[in-house]
Amino acid sequence: MTNASPPTHADANAATPRLWDKSRLNPSQPEFAAALCVALLCAVMLRTLVRNPFYELLGETVFVSMVSLFAFKVAGALRQTLLPVWVAQWAAVMLGAAIGPLIVQLVGTGGSLSEFLNSRPLKGGYFLVMLSATIGGSLLTLGALIREHEAKAKAEALQFALERETLQRQASDARLSLLTAQIEPHFLLNTLANVQTLVETGSPQAVPVFRSLIAYLRGAMQQLQQESASLADEERLVRSYLDIMAMRMPDRLRFSVDIDPALKDLRFPPMALLTLVENAVRHGIDPGMEGGEIAVGARPVGAEGVLIWVSDTGVGMSETASMGLGLNNLKERLKAVFGADAVLELSEQSPHGLRVDLRFRKPL
């Protein structure tokens, strides 16, 4: 028979709910300051009604204020369900306003309750201090509760804003993943079509191109699996792609890539720059008999702005002006990463060709 080990002291403490919320027991500096100000105000007001020296009145009102403040904090820290917290705190302050002056009077009589009860001046002083403590304590309690309610409302608003931002980011990530999944088969089919063309024409460059293409596809597939990439990653992929395209049509394609080194660590949607370059080859260079040149570049604009462009001297906008699936997806991906201000613009090149500009601000 296996004997179960007896519960430890730590287990018992963990199972038993705590009676106090210790984080609410310690008064804050503003609460101390408010209690002292009320004590000073009460002492000044009582000075005109009694004959006691001012320092005695101030000492008594400060003591009563501290007792009421302590009672207020204890009632707020006590975990109970019988009364609403604000009712318990107000009742505790009223109790402190009644007990505090009584303690002062009993100290003055050497602890003799009968002497206190038989002295009309002592009882009069007690009721004056208790009344002023009751009024001042009620006002302080009201102010503290209002301040606590406002702080709680601000905390809840901040928590709601954080949760909303988290949900928006998750939605953007899901949206970005979906758009990337739409691009992936489209890109692979175009790449395989290029391989087929090289093999069918029997080009002597088929083997080196095929070897480069395998390396390129390996890098492209890795990048498609990434949630984010840098502009330097995109640059390497674009250079590899254009190298392969230039081998396929050496007399018809020239290209240049000029990425500012300051932007190479910039976070950028995977395969986004490649989408623009691929469109330039398919819709700009391939349809034209004379081919053309593709220029890829990126540079900072001002303190936070970025401009990225892909231009070609191909057949131009007259045949390629419509926004296809690739460009529409790219617009959505840019907005998901860089915000609603991200812009994708098409413009005609002179004398012919097309330029695509991406403008956005660096993410924080």
Cα 298 from chain centroid (whole Å):
29
What's the whole-number mean pLDDT along residues 70-97? 82
Considering the domain boundaries, does residue 192 fall inside one? no
Considering the domain boundaries, does residue 170 fall inside one? no
- Rg value, the chain, Cα: 39
Same domain, 355 and 226: yes
What's the whole-number mean pLDDT along residues 329-355? 88
Considering the domain boundaries, does residue 354 fall inside one? yes
Of 162, 192, 216, which residue is a domain's last?
162
What's the whole-number mean pLDDT along residues 109-119? 82
Same domain, 351 and 302: yes
Q: Would you say residue 50 has pLDDT above 70?
A: yes
Same domain, 247 and 353: yes
Query: Which of 7-16, 174-183, 209-218 has the lowest average pLDDT?
Result: 7-16
Same domain, 210 and 357: yes
Tokens of 95: 């109790």
| pLDDT on residue 13 | 47
3-state DSSP percent of the chain in helix, strand and coil, to 5:
65, 10, 20
Same domain, 213 and 303: yes
Four-residue CA torsion sign, 327, 329, 335, 340: positive
Highest mean pLDDT among 141-145, 173-177, 249-253, 255-259: 255-259
CA quadruple 226, 230, 235, 236: dihedral, nearest 10: -50
Q: Would you say residue 2 has pLDDT above 70?
A: no
Q: Would you say residue 11 has pLDDT above 60?
A: no
- d(Cα 105, Cα 126) in Å, to the nearest integer? 7
316-332, pLDDT tens digit by residue?
875 445 566 678 878 88
Q: Would you say residue 107 has pLDDT above 70?
A: yes
Q: Would you say residue 15 has pLDDT above 60?
A: no
Pairing, β 253-259 against β 292-301: parallel
Same domain, 88 and 219: no
- d(Cα 97, Cα 127) in Å, to the nearest integer? 10
| pLDDT on residue 176 | 60
The helix/strand/coil state of 354 is: strand
CATH number at residue 240: 3.30.565.10
Of 162, 193, 220, which residue is a domain's last?
162
149-160, pLDDT tens digit by residue?
787 888 888 888
What's the whole-number mean pLDDT along residues 278-303? 90
354: β partners: 312, 348
What's the whole-number mean pLDDT along residues 160-176? 68
Same domain, 354 and 245: yes
pTM to 2 decimal places = 0.49
Q: Would you say residue 148 has pLDDT above 70?
A: yes
| pLDDT on residue 266 | 92
Pairing, β 229-230 against β 267-268: antiparallel
| pLDDT on residue 132 | 80
Considering the domain boundaries, does residue 168 fall inside one? no
Of 162, 186, 215, which residue is a domain's last?
162
Pick 126 or 221 by higher pLDDT. Answer: 126
Region of residue 281 (phi > 0: left; psi between -120 and 50: alpha; otherwise: beta) = alpha
Long-range contacts of 105-108 (CB under 8 A, 24+ apart): none
- d(Cα 258, Cα 156) in Å, to the nearest integer? 49
Considering the domain boundaries, does residue 240 fall inside one? yes
Considering the domain boundaries, does residue 298 fall inside one? yes
Considering the domain boundaries, does residue 12 fall inside one? no
Same domain, 131 and 266: no
Residue holding tokens 């890795």?
222
Sorting pLDDT into bands at 50, 70 and 90, what band is 1? Answer: very low
What total of structural domains would you count in the chain? 2
Same domain, 211 and 356: yes
Q: What is the mean pLDDT of the chain?
A: 79
55-83, pLDDT tens digit by residue?
877 888 888 888 888 888 888 788 877 88
Is residue 223 within 8 A of residue 240, CB to CB? The reply is no
Pairing, β 354-361 against β 267-268: unpaired
Considering the domain boundaries, does residue 257 fall inside one? yes
Residue numbers of the domain that contains 134: 23-162
Same domain, 67 and 211: no
